[in-house]
Structure 1
């Protein structure tokens, strides 16, 4: 049954003495590995999942590919899964609502949904449409604003513009807010004080230490495509060495075959 982990996932956002550290997976194997490493919940990265499926990031992933990946992940995962839906892969709020309901039916307990470079009105409509399509099914909607990430031109400061948008998303029915690209601690504090929803940040250069973020009020930290990039960079350089007749990177320390096989062979 879907969404059995929803109360658990909500609780992970509510403790002022801890911060939810979310690794971002791209398939069932990476999600299961992160769970086995001790993650209390797992997220997907839209970029990583798109790349792993053979598509560019940025709205190109077909919805059926997304749902197939989510179903594969929830089949093996015992902890909550939240799914990055980009902008919902459509400008039609009703289509976004139907996709979000399908993601929930596939076993996810949460989604990310972004405003991108557009006006907040469209994201507000999408949140309303999702709530209508869910028909009471619980789903944690993490509303993302890209004011900082895209360096959008705004009439006020980026912090004030973000606060204004996030409050609108809260009124529309969001459960959490996400501000990727935000790294300045004073702005973090301002947003946490002004918006009464758990704030999610993304790991990136210049971000303060996690303990300082937690003290400022941040409740969730995700890492975007970084795990995929780290893993695939190692794979790329190892194969480049192979093609130069150097086997050492591929024969050195690596994930244990038997352990990974047993992990995916265990009953979820």
Structure 2
């Protein structure tokens, strides 16, 4: 059931995309990580499909079930009070009917945005008509549910390194423009690693563009100067956390628990930190200083 509160959150999320300023949308993978980023003052959140998969013990790429994804999404929307966009990959279904049903279920569980992509596990792209059909379905759901959620359409042209440099730019621009014409609210092009390409994409597609930080292009001021609208972290944060956990596991295996003992985030501090999801943002930020 769509609530008035959810409609307000969806409108707030839309406003972030239509405003003058670029915004950072941190990627989270469970209710705990979502709560942390909300508490630290972020305006909205997005799931990372890789992060959710890793947290459940699987690799990325729709290796988990839709019910697994739904369980995580429900746990997040119960705990946070800011807009949430869900990385829906290719839709977790084999048919457009399933895509619409799964989309509806996510939206009816508190979601303010959906990210859909054209990248296939075999390293190719879905036909453009498939993405057009999916965007059309999401537009139908906007009307049926009376919910102005954000449709973020992703092309994996650069992520999967489709073609040479010129082909990638041509394909990304072509698909971005078609996504825009089909009704997407923003376009996501991960894998862009240089300023010139990012600038060309922004100027050529003329829709709020979502970029993913990487080792080649990660400075927020640079993205802002280039005209990017939405910056995401992808699986960067969860991979950082998992790397630390793997190393701690190795320490513990070898009988070394010093890092655990020396940890200043005590049991008492942890309980205090995670207490009070209803606290206003200013109190939350002050608590963490």
Kindly indicate whether residue 18 of structure 2 is the aligned counterpart of residue 8 of structure 1.
Answer: no
Structure 2 residue runs of 5 or longer lacking an equivalent are: 120-124, 279-289
Aligned positions of 1:40-59 closer than 5 A: 40-59=43-62
Partner of 1:144: 154
Q: Distance in 1 between matches of 2:135 and 2:224?
A: 27
| SS of residue paired to 1:153 | coil
Q: Distance in 1 between matches of 2:216 and 2:11?
A: 33
Query: What CA deviation, in whole Å up to 9, does each residue of 1:234-264 have, x standing for no partner?
Result: 1111121111111112122354433443444
Cα drift, residue 267 of structure 1: 4.5
Partner of 1:104: 107
Q: Distance in 1 between matches of 2:139 and 2:215?
A: 35
Q: TM-score, normalised by structure 2?
A: 0.86
Paired residues of 1:98 and 1:130 also in contact (CA < 8 A): no
Cα drift, residue 13 of structure 1: 2.0
Query: What CA deviation, in whole Å up to 9, does each residue of 1:6-42 have, x standing for no partner?
Result: 12111222333x3211111110011001111121111
Partner of 1:173: 183
Partner of 1:28: 31
Partner of 1:212: 222
Q: TM-score, normalised by structure 1?
A: 0.93
Structure 1 residue runs of 5 or longer lacking an equivalent are: none
Paired residues of 1:26 and 1:44 also in contact (CA < 8 A): yes
Cα drift, residue 265 of structure 1: 3.6
Cα drift, residue 214 of structure 1: 0.8
Structure 1 stretch displaced more, 64-73 or 134-143: 134-143
Q: Distance in 2 between matches of 1:169 and 1:104?
A: 21
Partner of 2:287: none
Cα drift, residue 4 of structure 1: 2.8
User: RMSD across aligned C-alpha pairs, in angstroms?
Assistant: 1.8
Kindly indicate whether residue 138 of structure 2 is the aligned counterpart of residue 130 of structure 1.
Answer: yes
Structure 1 stretch displaced more, 93-102 or 68-77: 93-102
Query: What CA deviation, in whole Å up to 9, does each residue of 1:187-227 have, x standing for no partner?
Result: 11111112232100111110152111111110111111111
Q: Distance in 1 between matches of 2:53 and 2:149?
A: 22
Aligned positions of 1:215-230 closer than 5 A: 215-230=225-240
Partner of 2:267: 257
Kindly indicate whether residue 81 of structure 2 is the aligned counterpart of residue 78 of structure 1.
Answer: yes
Over 3 Å counting, the alpha-carbon distance change for 1:262 and 1:76 in structure 2 is farther
Number of paired residues?
A: 267
| SS of residue paired to 2:153 | strand
Cα drift, residue 90 of structure 1: 2.3
